Structure 1
Amino acid sequence: MSATTTVEVPAARPDDEIREFGRRLQLTRAGIWFAGNQGDPYAMILRATDDDSAPWEERIRAHGTWFRSDLLGAWVTADPAVTGRVLSDPRFGTLDRAGHRPDAGLLPIAAEFPEYERPELARLHALAAPVLSDTAPLGVERAEADAPVLARPPADGAAFDLVGDVVRPYVGALVLRLLGAGEGERAEAVRLLTRCGPQLDARFTPQTLAVARDSAAAVREVAALVRELVAREAATGADRPAGLIAALLGRGVAPRDVERIGLVLAVGAPEPAATAVANTVRALLSGSGDWANARHAPAASAAVDRTLLVRPPARLERRVAHEDVRLGGRRIRADDQVVMVAPAAPDAPRDVSRTGPYLGLALPVVRLAATTAVSALAGALPGLKAAGPVLMRPRSPVVRSYARFPVTAH
């Protein structure tokens, strides 16, 4: 098992430690801001103050294969070929040579949501793949999947927030159902999954002190819930709703590994899935979209897959060189950070299954949740229309999450 090192966000610690944590977040944010003021396009992406990061991605591509962000200490590439080589090259890892997250001292995240090195990730992927590739044993029934949407239809013509009011609760409930949580457990846990959302973005840009502490606290609670689900299923086995945890244990996967897989899915899938739903709905409601046909599962699936290619679920991925590497005409030195940008461009072919440590494992659940949500929404709300400009969540350069998506349903 590989080493994993993270820095736990303080929950209830003395005021001076909390202030020190907040100071580190502010200093890191200030460094990103300063680099952006000096014309660094990578820093502008990390600022995540624009609704669209495409202009800064274009600036990175204009530099050629590599853009060197001297102020932020990273080699940045938007070249799909180079990205593929980095992700498949064993000389690059998610941790540095000492087994630490390269940004652990600057961007603390929840210790329960660790960074796994390549061999451990590959092992977890291999354990989960047989179950994730087959949704039948997960007990996904369309009637129950539709319930979160159909149970709370908005008043005719009234504006509401598609993402906050409908999509996040829907996706969270579906992911919890996939894990095997009971109906009573899901109601409260859905809010926890939403609060975990900033964890993926926190690996690249500091969140506010309040968000960072709240998100880390939510991860701790979700980790406890996953442990409880695994322990309960391991002890009883029968007479429980079918779910991914039961399926993994039934295949002989060790409970500790089931806990790790379950936590990655619980924290890493809901927010990318909710964002994929919102991006797909925006495309289908546009002049070239076909919202009416999306109620059919094949059409919804095709629309979600197109969206995941054009607007990938993870816009940034990082690796660290474990030895000197010559790549793309540059010498990458040992312990140099390499950041890969997945541009939001339809002419940039890529394999979305190679999106990084967490979304690589969670992608089947992201696809399933997003497809089911789009199909259910189109069937339940055929008169859905945009009701104003969308707002993106601040400090979300990786997922590009939504803060608000106003719509009406006639």
Structure 2
Amino acid sequence: MARDTTAQLAVWNEYLWSVGDQGDPYALILRAPDDPYPLYEEVRARGPLHRSALGTWVTADHKLSSKVLRDRRFGVRQLSGEKAIESIEFDNSMLGVDPPDHGRLRKLAIPAINPGQMESWRPRIETYTEELVEKFLAAGGRANFMTAFAQQLPNYVISELLGIPDRHRPAAFRLTRRMARMIESEPTPQLVEDVTGSVAELYLMFEDIIALRRADPGDDLVTQLLPALDEGRLSKAELVALCAFLTLGGVETTVNLIGNATLLMLEHPDQFEMFKGDPGLAPAVIQETLRFETPTQQYRRIVQEDLELAGQVLPADSQVAICAGAANRDPEVYPDPGRFDITRPPGRELLSFSLGIHFCLGAALARLEGEVALAAVARRLPNLRRIGPIRRRKSYVIRGMLQFPVAA
């Protein structure tokens, strides 16, 4: 890694800890504590929008967050084209582009993963889920729930969706886990270098898969997008980047949704008993998990022009941090927000999959996988219990676990 980047990272990390030591709640959130929710309340107490000592504008307000996510005056790229030193982006993917390219790429991908088509995946997801449960029980019913179950289902589904051949699946799984570290707190030069390398490896793998699908078409997303590639509506670099992005984005949220929902069931035995009595409550379990312990805790947007927001003047290129984990617990929107309740009546829209033009393409699929997985836990693993301490991800963006030891 270049020496100047290493120096930048060191300066950034030192500055982050210095500002946090002075009591800035957003700087403390970026340290990725195990329990960020008290810090979110400190952010909320400072008003709908306030400027952190780090220079970032921060909001925990549901109404204001919804407005920013829908407002085209906020984008995902700086006007200068520079990247934040603590971030890694997929070049040419929807993750890092604004209109008009974002709309073009999204329009091409939507037919393959629209909510209407996702329901047709239910039988395959149910079959594979049953296989995972059987494997877990056959191994003695004791395991790290994250590696034995929560990670396996989304990786299987995204591999099927993208048409990843069996021989490539172990590498795709390994690279996805490496890439997921890009959202870890306090990036080091070694971490950035490893993540950059894993992205490059995944790109090469998908170039091979595109060639394979051209020779042997299937019913997968890559095959469906080949005509757009041949007609010039999509470049090869964009197709590769889209596949790489979906490999990570289509897995990471769902892994943590399944893990978080299962942990919440075990931590709230009365709710779990209710759920075991009626596995049809799975959609309600997933909905309340998305609100109470959303896997994606934060979004960032860049101001594209000078504007006024919540009584503050924000210059172009300012960063706005949207604390979705806090907005989903806004007491103005969700009564008694700190209570986990699967019987909670449907309320205002959640921010768990973003809103506006960057609303998560795979939201319906993630919900479906979560519902199938949790219904299987309720039916097949009624005596599931935690048998050791959990270890959480060290990330301010992703709320999830690395270790979740359970026994059936």
TM-score band, normalised by shorter chain: 0.7 to 0.9
What percent of counterpart residues are identical?
28
Residue of structure 2 equivalent to 1:245:
222
- Identify the residue that residue 294 of structure 2 maps to in structure 1: 312
- Rounded to whole Å, the distance in 1 between the matches of 2:330 and 2:272 is 18
SS of equivalent to 1:76? strand
Alignment of 1:3-402 (within 5 A): 10=1, 17=2, 20-48=4-32, 50-70=33-53, 72-101=54-83, 103=84, 106-109=85-88, 112=91, 115-133=96-114, 134-135=117-118, 141=124, 142-153=126-137, 155-156=139-140, 158=142, 160-199=143-182, 201=183, 205-237=185-217, 240=218, 242-249=219-226, 254=234, 256=236, 257-285=238-266, 286-290=268-272, 293=275, 298-342=280-324, 343=326, 345=329, 347=331, 348=333, 349-352=348-351, 353-354=353-354, 360-394=360-394, 396-402=395-401
What's the CA shift string for 1:247-303, capped at 9, x where partnerless? 444788746354333222101121221111111112222223236846987433332
Letter in 2 for 1:406: P
Q: How far off is 1:329 after superposition?
A: 1.0
Q: Is the 8 A contact 1:292 1:378 kept in 2?
A: no
Query: Which range is displaced more, 353-362 or 281-290?
Result: 353-362
How much does 1:399 deviate?
Answer: 0.8
1:96 alignment partner, SS class: coil
Equivalent residue of 1:331, what SS?
Answer: strand
SS in 1 for 2:296: coil
Q: CA deviation at 1:107?
A: 1.8
1:39-89 CA deviation, whole Å, 9 max, x = no partner? 1000111001x211001100000011112112x111111111111221222
Task: List alignment gaps of at least 5 residues for structure 1.
Answer: 1-9, 11-16
Evaluate the alpha carbon distance shift between residue 258 and residue 280 of structure 1 in structure 2; reply closer, same or farther with a 3 A threshold. Answer: same
Amino acid of the residue matched to residue 222 of structure 2? I
Assess if the C-alpha contact under 8 Å between 1:76 and 1:338 holds in 2. Answer: yes
- C-alpha change, 1:407 and 1:302, in structure 2 (3 Å) is same
Question: Considering only aligned residues, what root-mean-square deviation do their CA atoms show, in Å?
Answer: 3.0
Structure 1, 55-64 or 278-287: larger mean CA deviation: 278-287
Cα offset for 1:122? 2.7
Q: Deviations over 1:334-358 (max 9, x none)?
A: 1211111111527444433425887
User: How many pairs were matched up?
Assistant: 380
Once the two structures are superposed, residues 147-201 of structure 1 have per-residue CA deviations (whole angstroms, 9 ceiling, x without a partner) of 344334364464x2111333213322222122112233223322221222123x2
Instruction: Map 1:399-410 onto structure 2 (within 5 A).
Output: 399-409=398-408
Query: Under a length normalisation based on structure 2, what TM-score does the superposition of the two structures give?
Result: 0.82
Letter in 2 for 1:389: P
Cα contact 2:279–2:375 (8 A) shared by 1: yes
User: Would the alpha carbon gap of residues 152 and 222 (structure 1) be closer, same or farther in structure 2, given more than 3 Å must change?
Assistant: farther
The DSSP-based 3-state class of the residue aligned with 2:256 is: helix
Distance in 1, Cα, partners of 2:291 & 2:131: 29
2:397 match: secondary structure:
coil
**CA distance 1:283–1:398, shift in 2 (3 Å):** same
Distance 1:292 1:234, change over 3 A: farther
CA gap of 1:161–1:20, structure 2 versus 1, over 3 A, is farther
Deviation digits for residues 180-236 of structure 1 (CA, Å, limit 9, x no counterpart): 12233223322221222123x25xx43234433333322222222233223322333
The answer (yes or no) to whether the contact 1:196–1:218 under 8 Å persists in 2 is yes
Report the Cα offset of residue 140 of structure 1.
Answer: 6.0
Counterpart of 1:185, as a letter, is H
Measured in 1, the distance between the counterparts of 2:210 and 2:138 equals 36
